[in-house]
């Protein structure tokens, strides 16, 4: 990432990242992981000017409780927040058009997610095993939901998939045992066992009641 810097306050646990342009991609191992993996980050603040959150940027940051994402960010990378087991809420700005696979995989305490209006695809395993996820608002222009996208989100209560949906992947909502799901397109391609174990599923093309 061009011109980037990060500052960490040990007393508050706050990490501030500044820069211009896309964040670099990171790996999962010692040789290529993000430098802040070695400190106990509780709150992360990404400043305006950064246009993407890199692959594995916060992978395994188990103490991370909150993240501030600026309106300049347009994409969130593969596994960016995977395994952030203390993260409780994420507000993804409307500028985001792309979320990578496994982006929020196994965020055990994540309860609420606001997805951006312009997002058209939710990739494989994006929110899988987020067992405390209760609320997810799907964007009105959503076209595809990947394999295992919400697999075993056992606390998810309700969701409505819009009429723009074209495909729902294998096991996309499997084992969402508390979920009442409405799919507004009865011609969408639905993968094997996409709704296995879901409490209730309604598939129709009727507009929602006012």
CATH 3.80.10.10 segments of the chain: 1-110, 127-210
Is 1-110 in CATH node 3.80.10.10?
yes
Q: State yes or no: pLDDT of 114 exceeds 90.
A: no
Q: Following DSSP, what letter does each residue of the chain receive, concatenated?
A: -TT-EEEEETTTTEEEEE-SEEPPP--SSTTTS-GGGGS--SEEEEPTTEEEEPTTTTTT-TT--EEE--TT--EE-TTTTTT-TT--EEE--TT--EE-TTTTTT-TT--EEE--TT--EE-TTTTTT-TT--EEE--TT--EE-TTTTTT-TT--EEEE-TT--EE-TTTTTT-TT-EEEES-TTSEE-TTTTTT-SEEEE--PPPP-
Residue 31 pLDDT > 60, yes or no? Answer: yes
Structural class in CATH, domain 127-210: alpha beta
Tens digit of each residue's pLDDT (9 = 90 or more) over 71-106: 999 999 999 999 999 999 899 999 999 999 999 999
């Amino acid at each position: 990432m061009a011109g980037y810097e990060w500052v960490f306050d040990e007393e508050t646990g706050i990490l501030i990242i500044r820069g211009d342009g896309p964040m670099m991609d990171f790996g999962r191992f010692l040789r290529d992981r993000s430098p802040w993996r070695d400190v106990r980050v509780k709150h992360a603040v990404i400043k305006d000017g950064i246009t993407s959150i890199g692959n594995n940027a916060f992978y395994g940051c188990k103490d991370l409780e909150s993240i501030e994402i600026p309106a300049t960010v347009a994409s969130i990378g593969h596994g960016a927040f995977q395994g952030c087991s203390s993260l409780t809420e994420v507000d993804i700005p409307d500028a985001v058009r792309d979320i990578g696979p496994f982006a929020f995989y196994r965020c055990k305490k994540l309860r609420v997610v606001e997805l951006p209006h312009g997002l058209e695809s939710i990739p494989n395993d994006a929110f899988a095993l987020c067992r405390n996820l209760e609320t997810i608002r799907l964007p009105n222009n959503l076209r595809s939901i990947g394999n295992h996208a919400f697999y075993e989100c056992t606390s998810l209560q309700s969701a409505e998939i819009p009429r723009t949906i074209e495909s729902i992947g294998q096991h996309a909502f499997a084992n969402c045992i508390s979920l009442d799901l409405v799919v507004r397109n009865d011609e969408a391609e639905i993968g094997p066992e996409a709704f296995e174990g879901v409490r209730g599923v309604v598939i129709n093309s009727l507009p929602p009641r006012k």
